[in-house]
Homo-oligomer: A and B are copies of this chain.
Amino acid sequence: MSNTPLIISAAIVGAELTRDTYPNLPLTPDEIAEAAEEAVNAGASIIHLHVRDENGLPTQRVDVFETVTEKIRNRCDCILQYSTGGAVGTPVELRCNPVSLKPDMATLSMGTMNFGSEIYENTEETITTIARAITDNDVMAELEVFDFGQLETVMRMVKKGLVPERHHMDFVLGVPGGMAATISNLVMLVNRLQEGQTWAVAGLGRGQLPMAMHSIAMGGHVRVGIEDNIYYRKGELAVSNAQLVERVVRIAREYDRPAATVDQARQILGLSE
């Protein structure tokens, strides 16, 4: 039983969600910052961040990321992780831009795939470009792996020096077109990691809670939040990101893995050096 404190990452906004499907969706800088603070107070140590423009649409504009970052920093300490995924279809130059603000972490999606009826495009060139932006800005990469071949792509590209060797791994499971959120799949993925590699899992939809449970007991870390799953339980919308975080905290406490403080999370991830 690993008793490393549990790093909880809160995916509080996302790029695809709208108020139509989730009325409590934070959109303005203030709303996002408030949601971040609540999540951190609930036990999250990483905020996985997407931002929205004046019309509530997903954007990779640097000024918006800057504003939101400032507002979050004013409210609470946390590890800020910018998404470089953008919305489906965002050009790669735009996806990279916010990394110049030097957040603690930034995501790096490791392959192209169907994402439901859309294509989520991450060519090798895109990956290389974003990886370079991340490295050049001295940011820590969180690699987003959606399918098994993408994990093997990580190894190939790390070996070639195209992807940073020092990274945090995130398995995003349950996208229609990627790997399903099953324990069998998670074990296959984790069994392929190098010894000592830190990892988290983000289960989509109804896969969120089971993946969190398994990860707690496997010594991994956890991502929850409305970006990935808007329900608290079947048929019942989550009240907030904080509510989803709180449940994970309670379960982790029963398991004797307390939620990591921000400082503990920095140390576990090697961000405090």
Q: Which residues of A contact B (CB under 8 A)?
A: 1, 3, 111-114, 116-119, 121-125, 146-150, 152-153, 156, 175-180, 183-185, 187-188, 191, 206-207, 209-210, 213-214, 216-218, 233-234, 247, 250-251, 254-256
Residues of B within 8 A of A147 (CB): 147-150
Closest to A155 in B: B180
The answer to whether B124 and A117 have CB atoms under 8 Å apart is yes
CA A258 to CA B158, docked complex, whole Å: 34
Do A152 and B179 have beta carbons less than 8 Å apart?
yes
Please report the C-alpha to C-alpha distance between residue A113 and residue B180 in the assembled complex, in whole angstroms. 16
Query: How far apart are the CA atoms of A2 and B209 in the complex, in Å?
Result: 11
Contacts of A118 in B (CB 8 A): 123
Tell me how far the C-beta of A107 lies from the nearest C-beta in chain B, rounded to whole angstroms: 17
Contact: A119 with B112, CB < 8 Å? yes
Pick 19 A–B contacts, CB within 8 A, sort by A.
A1-B206, A1-B207, A1-B209, A1-B234, A3-B234, A111-B177, A117-B123, A118-B123, A119-B121, A124-B177, A147-B148, A148-B179, A148-B185, A156-B176, A210-B218, A213-B214, A233-B256, A247-B254, A254-B254
What residues on B are CB-neighbors of A122 within 8 Å? Answer: 114
> Do A183 and B217 have beta carbons less than 8 Å apart?
yes
How far, in whole Å, are A262 and B80 apart by their CA atoms in the complex? 48
From A118, A152, A256, residue with most partner B Cβ within 10 Å: A152
CB-CB < 8 A to A176: which residues of B? 124, 153, 156
Contact for A149 among B3, B178, B210, CB less than 8 A: B178
- In the bound complex, residues from chain B placing their C-beta under 8 Å from that of A207 are 1
How far is it, in angstroms, between the C-alpha of A184 and the C-alpha of B184 when the chains are bound? 8
What chain B residues lie within 8 Å of A150 (beta carbons)?
147
Instruction: Report chain B residues within 8 Å CB of A124.
Output: 114, 116-117, 176-177
Q: How far is the CB of A193 from chain B (nearest CB, A)?
A: 12
Q: How far is the CA of A117 from the CA of B127 in the complex (A)?
A: 11
Residues in B neighbouring A180, C-beta threshold 8 A: 149, 152
Interface centre among A111, A114, A233, A254 (most CB of B within 10 A): A114
Min Cβ gap A56→B in Å is 27
Known: A179-B152, A180-B152, A183-B218. A123 touches B119 (CB 8 A): yes
Q: A184 is contacted by which of B191, B247, B254 (Cβ under 8 Å)?
A: B191
Contact B153 A177 (CB under 8 A): yes
In the complex, what residues of B have CB within 8 A of residue A148's CB? 147-149, 179, 185, 188
**Contacting pair B114 A153 (CB below 8 A):** yes
Q: Which of B179, B185, B187, B233 contacts A183 (CB 8 A)?
A: B187
